[in-house]
A and B are shown apart, each in its own frame.
Chain A
């Protein structure tokens, strides 16, 4: 064939033409080319040929340029094939799960691992002045040992005889593993926090396991125990106060501890030794059951080592306490749940789990021993101080026994026995402690939440709320061993001493912090004492969206989820945006329908950001960090996330760049930096994402930031968008470090937005904190409609910043405003002196956002005309230009504006105030009702309903459609909240009321002392009252105990 031609065989003419073609195509070079070019120039015929060849080449090239593309159906098939190729890792990952042998082994490893890791970590965290390293070793060496001659591999046998376990489907096993991984992680975090700064900051993301604080109504939770005595639940309701989890609370708590450098020092100082955590698990009555015994409260003051006081409480580990839908790890948790009813028989359990305690001298520092009872539907008994803060508490101990618990259990039992034996030998057993502990076994109910609250917190905080819980802990009506009067009095003494100490003002604590500690709300502040309120802007609305979801599903939102400021800010802005300035400032004052008396008014502080037209915004570089862990499978969370991303992409155009990182066990890049106009590429990256594995949020964030860094370009806004259900359970997720990273990148010009999906009690706080640190917005999206609202309608607000570090300061005139309190923004507080300190950062505000904050103010009853000329309140706003990439921090422009309000400008009545004002007031009030705020506990609901009706009437006349819809929605939520019991006053027993009163008097006294009114006759009166109250509380305690033990 022609293939065999060779140059040599060609005729001269053909060879010349071939050379011409080569020349025309640029294949010739050097002398050869030069020579031929010369000939072409010299010989016209050759020139013509050359020109023809070139013309032909040009014609072919131009006319066929552009080229073909594969037809869509081919492309589709090709991508389908590619996607299958793209998933090798997950497939492999699943494959080994599926093997029964691996499953068996995994269960074993997991159980053993969870147990020991937990013990080890707890130990690490609490290695306070303690030979725990030695114990650790001992424990480790015991790990392989067995109880009472039972071979070490007993657990395997146990598993083997449980064919159901072997047959467990992958679907069951996977969440289990994830939950276990999470629990271990959480435990480590908690422990780690203790080690680092004496308090845990991590917020347990796991709804199912931590559910309960006083806010959960057991009556509304079908799975909860039927027994709780009314006073217990009511007590819990009081006790909720300190469940509010905010950074501020933690800060306060830390401050309260005198900023100890080291948690265990503090613990040691308090005479507590929490170094021991003992657990036991057994199969009682055929029900998987797990109990953990915490030995706590070894008295540092004990004269001799031999007189150590051990106190054991029992915690029944259960999973869920609330009715919320099963989350990750929910399945195993539920399995364990039936253990609760079986607990009472623990008194006759084969292994008396109670290390005997020495008689506790009443005058000794109170031990940490406190049974925990509150917690509504799922209280429990837990020896050791109770952390007051359910939300920020990781789930430390009780989560371990998710499953048969075969492996670690014997070891723990042995430890206990050894311990018991030792103590029994070295000292006389104390019947009281012993029996008390047993009694508490009987009293224990579903206790997971109790244990969830974390030993980290125990170490640092034996708050007064634990006291209330403790008292509640005696309530459950199961029969308890009879105790002598002496023993009962001893118990009362102990409880009282604990409670009393926690009601005192702590070192470096201000009375208002103490108030917050007691009730979780901002206190009224005397203007004479402090005339300024300073806080960072917050435009998040996630709290409202999440509460809405809860209410619509017929569940009670948790108190800690309700952030008043996010309720207020969830509504369409009503203030007119500025046309030139960055912010329009507004102050509005009107009487409040919710105040104590006519002197209580509401002040609304409003700051509205300018709008930015879509085509005028700066280019955006967005990096999506997508959670593709197994938990995202639930309720199609990942599909919702994909939907959200697609929506977001529709808002972008060729100016913008996006990248996508997916994470589960590991992080991986699924889309490199790509023009947002390339919808096809983006879709090809989004479409194949599938949920699998665990949640290594840190790896995801880290890779996301690494990618965002590569995209940094001047003149652009760079943002990482973190989409997740918030459950972080793997990786080195030390909260502090993550936050530190987020902060550092923010300073480098990369913001962080978070979008939460799915329903999980605790994801919310994790995501909110991340967004806070990253100066971004936290959104919660539960369906396509919410996604539309959060992403499309609020796009410029959420993604186009107009100002960063926005701080607000309100200054009241002491002559006109006697007291003030801020509604919400508890975790946004900034020291007054830092208002002009530009190093102190605050919130970011996006285009068109409105920041609204309400103050309840008590005006002087005799405001005279002359006061009218002075500003009643002054609002200052300070902000920086939004951070762009590669910008020197020192070159950022700083702005400040202020405005003032005269009393003369106040509205005469609530109804005369602007609709926006009224709406904000009602939203805030609703939040306070849901929070069971100490300021709105008893009577505000009726006022809320009637004012809401009036507002809807007023708005329906010429109001915007959207605004009306929002009000209708609010009204619907209010109605649902009523159905869930929020409309009724919190039931209060005498004991609770007395405790509450005692606290109030303590707070009052602290306030008076702060005001240096030491000589005030009121003080004496308070002292007297306190004595009376003390007696009442003691009596009530005694009555309570006697009922159960006598």
Chain B
């Protein structure tokens, strides 16, 4: 089935002109790429510029125009193909995001505006309804500095390994680990109310968690 075909197969079919194969690739990668772009570009981008959707769309267009040739060694190995193509797409997306950010910065500089600081709220998450968990988690993520957010998103949602993330972001593996550690700590603090339903800080909260 087209939906189950490996990335390499789909790329080949796309090269042969099968639009559906391309669509499957888009579907397969759009979510992680959007998250990635979102994590890099930051939340609620105001003042024009391109949003994550635009960036991801452009990344896919690049894929359509010049599909990357996957290394011969991962031919037929779906996981390896996936890793290869994923890395390529994430890298392209990230570069596009960086271009966007640079353009934004230039524009903002020209407009004499300071880059908007992420407004850090008090983190009071009491009373957050269960259905708002998603929004709360997203908000907490958004509050993180961009570099932490990006690696966390890539690791937690994109399921990239540290080394893959290092490749995509151009950092050392150790740095990735450190960014994740810091980011996760901040997230834990931020999301404590959601984790245990009570303020964090005591061992019994952790104990309850363990139970």
Contact = CB atoms under 8 A, between A and B. Distances in A.
A68 B30 contact: yes
B152 A60 contact: yes
Contact of A18 (B1, B2, B180, B187): B180
Interface string B140-179: 0100010100001001110001100000000110110111
B129 interface: no
B206 A60 contact: no
A81 interface: yes
A674 B17 contact: no
Interface in A63-86: 63-71, 74-75, 77-79, 81-83, 85-86
A678 interface: yes
A890 interface: no
Contacts of B32: 67
Interface string A207-218: 000000000000
Contact of B177 (A7, A51, A88): A7
A51 B179 contact: no
B195 A56 contact: yes
Interface in B47-73: 53-54, 56-57, 60-61, 64-65
Contact of B157 (A61, A82, A668): A61
A14 interface: yes
Contacts of B35: 64, 67-68
A20 B172 CA distance: 18
Interface string A806-835: 000000000000000000000000000000
Nearest to A47: B210
Given A55-B209, A60-B157, A78 B2 contact: no
B34 A68 contact: yes
A102 interface: no
Interface stretch (B18-26, B75-83, B98-106, B109-117): B18-26
A668 B2 contact: no
B207 interface: yes
A82 B137 contact: no
B191 A56 contact: yes
Given A6-B174, A10-B178, A70-B34, A680 B54 contact: no
A157 interface: no
B198 to A, nearest CB: 13
B203 interface: yes
Given A25-B155, A47-B210, A75-B26, A673 B2 contact: yes
A670 B19 CA distance: 7
A688 interface: yes
Interface in B1-37: 1-3, 5, 13-14, 16-24, 26-27, 30-32, 34-35
A288 B32 CA distance: 66
Given A82-B64, A678-B3, A52 B19 contact: no
A669 B171 CA distance: 42
A674 B177 contact: no
Contact of A672 (B1, B181, B195): B1
Residue picked from A6, A45, A53, A64, most chain B C-beta under 10 Å: A64
A684 B23 contact: yes
Given A5-B175, A14-B181, A70 B1 contact: no
A61 B156 contact: yes
B108 interface: no
Residue picked from A2, A56, A657, most chain B C-beta under 10 Å: A56
Contacts of A51: 206, 209-210
Contact of A53 (B1, B34, B162, B184): B184
Contacts of B56: 70, 74
A274 to B, nearest CB: 45
A681 interface: yes
A670 B17 contact: yes
Contact of B147 (A2, A21, A45, A668): A2
B177 A672 contact: no
A685 B134 contact: no
Interface residues of A, number: 69
Given A5-B178, A44-B203, A56-B187, A671 B18 contact: yes
Contacts of A675: 1, 3
A580 interface: no
Interface in A152-172: none
A682 interface: yes
Contacts of B161: 27
Contacts of B64: 78, 81-82, 85
A17 interface: yes
B162 A27 contact: yes
Contacts of B61: 78, 81-82
Nearest to A52: B188
Contact of A85 (B1, B65, B185): B65
Nearest to A81: B61
A946 interface: no
A49 interface: yes
Contacts of B34: 67-70
A681 B177 contact: no
Contacts of B60: 78, 82
A51 B138 CA distance: 21
A1005 B184 CA distance: 103
B187 A674 contact: no
A642 to B, nearest CB: 14
Contact of A86 (B19, B30, B155): B19
Nearest to A659: B2
A67 B157 contact: yes
B21 A672 contact: yes
A20 B178 CA distance: 11
B3 A82 contact: no
Given A59-B191, A63-B134, A684-B19, A69 B31 contact: yes
B71 to A, nearest CB: 23
Interface string A33-45: 0000000000011
A674 B171 contact: no
A682 B2 CA distance: 10
Contacts of B181: 14, 17-18, 20-21
Given A70-B26, A87-B17, A672-B2, A60 B178 contact: no
A670 B18 contact: yes
A4 B147 CA distance: 12
A22 interface: yes
B40 interface: no
Interface in B196-210: 200, 203, 205-207, 209-210
B113 to A, nearest CB: 22
B96 interface: no
A568 to B, nearest CB: 41
B209 A52 contact: yes
A684 B20 contact: yes
A22 B38 CA distance: 24
B203 A671 contact: no
Nearest to A17: B181
A583 B27 CA distance: 47
B20 A685 contact: yes
A252 B157 CA distance: 72
A165 B28 CA distance: 52
A356 B76 CA distance: 71
Contacts of B205: 48
Given A69-B27, A685-B19, 4 more contacts: A2-B147, A78-B57, A671-B2, A684-B19
28 contacts: A3-B147, A5-B175, A6-B172, A14-B182, A18-B177, A25-B162, A51-B210, A52-B195, A55-B209, A56-B187, A63-B134, A67-B34, A68-B31, A68-B34, A69-B27, A69-B30, A69-B34, A70-B57, A74-B53, A74-B56, A75-B26, A81-B61, A88-B17, A89-B17, A668-B18, A670-B19, A680-B23, A681-B24
Per CB-CB distance, the 7 closest pairs between chain A and chain B, nearest first, are A48-B206, A67-B31, A18-B181, A7-B174, A672-B2, A674-B2, A68-B34
